[in-house]
Structures are given as structure tokens and as C-alpha cells.
Amino acid sequence: MDYFKIERLSFSETIRQAFKLYADNFTFLFFVSLIGSTPFILIPELADFNPMVETQASFGSVILRIFIIFILNSMTLAIMTDHIAQRYMNRNRTHDEYAFHILALLGSILGLSIVVGVLVSFGFLMFILPGIYFALTLSLSNISLVIERYNIMDCMRRSMFLTYGRKLEITGYMLVVIIITLGAIILSNTLLYLTGPLNFSSGVKMLFLFLVQVLISPINATIFFQVYLNIRIDKEQFTLDKWKNQTFGTNTSE
């Protein structure tokens, strides 16, 4: 399959293409994931946080930690998406150009992440099902911002349009991400158990688990980048030629 050819892929082809995107962009994606995951090792309360068992924590503390996790994940995934999009467009930047571009992008990503994070966090904490609905409905808002450069509210409306009638499909891809994540966690903990006789320090074990988290994080970005392309192809007959004929960094859905 041509790496830079945009075509409608089946479910299994989408997963394979996502892993190919990850492999081809491994160094950059790993580096961004490493930076984005660093707060989880510096602030153990974030790494060990489980909202389902935080019975002693205040409501404000619970929602704050969910919110911080969501913001960190959203910003790192957006930077990864932007890099993959630039590869598709075959555009290379100098380090200075890329730094300026990312700094200009981060403000919009932060604003969108705050709005979406509040909706999803309150949805999960209050009634669970609304949180799932918001997570599915707004799952493509960050990608819309990165690729199409809408404002915050238009990005959310754009995601609502793209995900309309596709929530079951998106749920399937989310389950794949969850299964990969859980599989990596189970495997890593099994390895730690089997190497128990070697008496690794708690610091080494924590570092190992941290690196596993860093390694699996980018697969979310690569899967949903391809899901976004699939849906735009279905709904808008989106092609690489149309994309290349538009000025990158502006609204591309006209």
C-alpha cells in the first residue's frame, strides 16, 4: 500500500496502516509521547489515579485529575497528528519553523482540550453514559483543529458531523486502543513478576512501566488519524489531490 495514498480502508487495514504510520514515524512519536507522559512519572497521583475507586477524594480533586490527564493526552495526540499530516503532505520544516508552528497551535489545542475535557469529565463522573457519548461525538475535534484549522466551537460541530452515524465504528476502534493498552499493561506486569528473583528496585520497575506507557500512547493518534481520513472519504470524497491543492493551515472542508 502506498504510504501517501489516501484511500478508504477496512477495519483491519486501518489497524495495519496505523501501525505502519507508527513505525515510520517512531522517533518523533516516541519523543513527543515521552515529553507528554513525563508528568505521570513526576506526579505519581496522576499515574495511580482511578476515578472508580477514589471514594475518599473530593469531587473537585477527582475532576481536576481527570481534566489534567485529558489535557495532557489531547495536546500530545494533537502534535502527533500534525506531524503525520505533514508527512502526508510531504512538507518538511526547519526546527525554527516547526517550533513556531507548534507554539501557535498549542494555544488552540489547549482551549479546545479544556472545553472538551470539561464535557467528557463531567459526563463520566455524573452519569457515565453521557461521558461516553461526548467522548465518541467529540473524538475527532482535535484532528479537525489540527488539519482544518477551525475555531473551537466549529471543531466540535465538525466532529459531531463526522461522527454522526459512525459511533459504533468509532467505538470499535476505541476498544482496539483499550485492548492494546490493557495487553501491554498485563504483559509488562507479567514480565516484572517473572523477573522478581532479580530484585529490581521499585524505581527501575516504575521506569519500565513508564516506558511501556510511552510506547503505546502514539497508537491512539495513528489509529484515529486514519479513522478521520476514512470518514472524510465516505462523507466528502476526500482525496490527497484535494488536500494538496488547499493551503495547509486553513479550513479544508469547503
pLDDT tens-digit profile of 181-197? 999 989 988 988 888 77
pLDDT for 254 equals: 44
pLDDT tens-place string over residues 63-91: 666 667 777 777 888 888 888 888 877 76
Domain ranges of the chain: 11-244
d(CA 32, CA 9) in angstroms, rounded, equals 27
d(CA 78, CA 95) in angstroms, rounded, equals 18
**Mean pLDDT over all residues of the chain?**
80
> What average pLDDT does the segment 143-170 reach?
90
Q: Which residue in the block uniquely carries the three cell numbers 478508504?
A: 8
> What average pLDDT does the segment 136-151 reach?
87
The pTM assigned to this predicted structure is: 0.81
pLDDT for 53 equals: 45
d(CA 226, CA 21) in angstroms, rounded, equals 9
pLDDT tens-place string over residues 211-233: 888 999 899 999 999 999 999 99
